[in-house]
Amino acid sequence: MSLSLLSVASEVFPLIKTGGLADVAGALPLALAEHGIDVRTLMPGYPDVMARIGTGETLCRFVNLFGGPAAVIGTRLGDLDLLVLDAPHLYDRSGGPYVTAGGFDHPDNWARFAALSQAGAAVAQGAIPGYRPDIVQAHDWQAALTPVYLAVSGRPRPKTVVTIHNLAFQGSYPASIFGSLGLPAAAWSLEGVEYYGNVGYLKGGLHAADLVTTVSPTYAEEILTPGGGMGLDGLLRGRGERLVGIVNGIDTGVWDPRNDPVIASPYGARSLKGRLRNKRAIEQEFGLARGDGPILAVVSRLTWQKGLDLVAEACDAIVARGARLVVVGSGEPMIEGQFLAAHARHPDRIGVRIGYDETLSHRVQAGADAILIPSRFEPCGLTQLYGLRYGCIPVVAKVGGLADTVIDANHAAVTAGVATGVIFGPPTGPALIDGVDRVLDLYADPKGWRSMQVSAMNADVSWRASARIYADLFRDLTRE
Ligand code: ADP
Ligand code: GLC
């Protein structure tokens, strides 16, 4: 039986991306299609998105959506079936999806994403003639009011799912906006959106949804604890079996070292020699001294969550051990500054690119030997999956999805030939250095290293297994 699912997300690769959410929102629909689930994806019409889609078909209109007229435009991009919310008063402006060009939150984000959710609820209840999804999947706080609007509507509605990609971002706003959300007074309650005297978008969605999912089994456990729950652990514990952790996959078509147009030289698990040319290419690109020693890499938001202050502080120790480091990322000015200073100290050993560069991220995964991910918490993480796929050995902290997707090179795993990376813990400076020491020891044995690269590249990081779990859950939900 085929099912129809409306996915509501604030970023979708390849149209707009600030992080892993976009990759998931762009790839999961294609994987679900293989299980007979037709996905349409509703997203905001930011300028880049409107420019990319050109003219589509107007499927429905809103006379006044949070202060101005809006329309849902239907279009296809590759295999993605997109519903773009064209609302110039909310989305047609400079800056990123969430922040201004100056780096501050758009002051009306509360309205921009309540509008996305309200439009999602309207579409879910038939605003587009002939379209009635069986399920709505709302991603993160930006879409989390969708199930709330549906729950209070008092009309027949599809089943609802909220997927948590990162509990650190909750969409919490002053109580004064409540009156503008178009919710009934009763929604200002413990069962509704009230959250410690504020309006909590994610909190409301987690309460209202028929099912809550998150992006790895370990993170699903971590968020039940006071340390990992970021204030929502009590609510989440209350959801019991209605909270499920499913590990992310990646789009193995977009990320395929045998067939990646932006890397210097394609290679596969059986032709790893070709990988060396990619290493030479990034040495050149980052102005590093040529060498046979390992190149470690960082491709990430440079934030506290990602633990990259720890790598920044370890730069001298990394160089002292004969390794080199390349960094691609942007984020907290202090961490950016630390990396730039490390580059100034070791210009031919440490290369730093501050900014966001999708193409370079592929080249780094193809050319570096190992990727460092010392996250303090990590719901799933995708860069370690790209690392596995590209034979760029992940060196990860033992948290969340990192722990679920990497097989540590301990004695048993190495002997059995199944290791795919190095797991260290807890995410502290000394533990990171320990992880670096272990990966350097492994690198020093070329045969063992190659065998680990092959195991990594053969690991199934596709959506295949996880899409089946989602599909089964969604089917069960519609049968309730
Ligand atoms: P998060 O979503 O928490 O940032 P993930 O590991 O799930 O972490 O996803 C991050 C995504 O963003 C990956 O696709 C990664 O390659 C990409 N990425 C992060 N920083 C950069 C950057 N500076 N340039 C290019 N891609 C980046
Ligand atoms: C979030 C998380 C990251 C996860 C991504 C996609 O950004 O921080 O761990 O991989 O969402 O689910």
Give tens-digit pLDDT for 120-178: 999 999 999 999 999 999 999 999 999 999 999 999 999 999 999 999 999 999 999 99
Residue 138 lies in a domain: yes
- Please give the span between the terminal C-alpha atoms of the chain, in angstroms, as a whole number: 15
Strand partners for 243 = 212
User: Does 442 share its domain with 468?
Assistant: no
Please give all residues whose beta carbon lies within 6 A of any atom in ligand 1, as ranges: 19-21, 23, 299-301, 328-330, 356-358, 361, 380-383
Residue 136 lies in a domain: yes
Strand partners for 371 = 297, 394
Residue 454 lies in a domain: yes
User: Does 217 share its domain with 198?
Assistant: yes
Q: Name the residue among 379, 437, 367 with its Cα closest to residue 405.
A: 379
Q: Residue 378 CA: which ligand 2 atom is closest?
A: 9
Would you state the pLDDT for residue 373? Answer: 98
Which domain range does residue 215 map to? 3-249+464-478
User: Is the shortest distance between the CB of 382 and ligand 2 below 6 Å?
Assistant: yes
Could you tell me the distance, in angstroms and rounded to a whole number, from the CA of residue 320 to the centre of ligand 1?
Answer: 28
Helix locations, 240-307, DSSP H = 275-285
Residue 260 lies in a domain: no
User: Does 195 share its domain with 338?
Assistant: no
User: Is the shortest distance between the CB of 248 and ligand 2 below 6 Å?
Assistant: yes
User: Does 159 share its domain with 88?
Assistant: yes
User: Does 388 share its domain with 423?
Assistant: yes
User: Does 166 share its domain with 302?
Assistant: no
* Residues 301, 375 contacting (CB under 8 angstroms): no
Strand partners for 73 = 58, 84
User: Does 147 share its domain with 7?
Assistant: yes
Q: Name the residue among 281, 285, 283, 289 with its Cα closest to residue 265.
A: 281
Q: Name the residue among 357, 355, 302 with its Cα closest to residue 333.
A: 302
Closest residue (by CA) to atom 11 of ligand 2? Answer: 165
How many angstroms separate the CA atoms of 428 and 331, rounded?
Answer: 20
User: Does 391 share its domain with 451?
Assistant: yes
User: Does 291 share its domain with 160?
Assistant: no
Which tokens go with 275?
A: 């990988």
**pLDDT tens-place values along the chain, 480 residues long:** 789 999 999 999 999 999 999 999 999 999 999 999 999 999 999 999 999 998 889 999 999 999 999 999 999 999 999 999 999 999 999 999 999 999 899 999 999 999 999 999 999 999 999 999 999 999 999 999 999 999 999 999 999 999 999 999 999 999 999 999 999 999 999 999 999 999 999 999 999 999 999 999 999 999 999 999 999 999 999 999 999 999 999 999 999 999 999 999 999 999 999 899 999 999 999 999 999 899 999 999 999 999 999 999 999 999 999 999 999 999 999 999 999 999 999 999 999 999 999 999 999 999 999 999 999 999 999 999 999 999 999 999 999 999 999 999 999 999 999 999 999 999 999 999 999 999 999 999 999 999 999 999 999 999 999 999 999 999 999 999
User: Is the shortest distance between the CB of 21 and ligand 2 below 6 Å?
Assistant: yes
User: Does 325 share its domain with 192?
Assistant: no
Residue 178 lies in a domain: yes
Query: Which ligand ends up closest to the CA of 17?
Result: 1
How many angstroms separate the CA atoms of 398 and 222, rounded?
Answer: 12
Could you tell me the distance, in angstroms and rounded to a whole number, from the CA of residue 374 to the centre of ligand 1?
Answer: 14
Residue 348 lies in a domain: yes
Closest residue (by CA) to atom 7 of ligand 2? Answer: 20
Q: Name the residue among 168, 129, 132 with its Cα closest to residue 150.
A: 132
Count of structural domains, the chain: 2
Residue 45 lies in a domain: yes
User: Does 178 share its domain with 286?
Assistant: no
Dmax over CA atoms of the chain, in Å, equals 67
By most ligand atoms within 8 Å of CB, the mutation choice from 213, 215, 305, 396 for ligand 2 is 215
Closest residue (by CA) to atom 19 of ligand 1? Answer: 300
Q: What is the CATH number of the domain that holds 283?
A: 3.40.50.2000
User: Does 287 share its domain with 169?
Assistant: no
Closest residue (by CA) to atom 1 of ligand 2? Answer: 165
Residue 268 lies in a domain: no
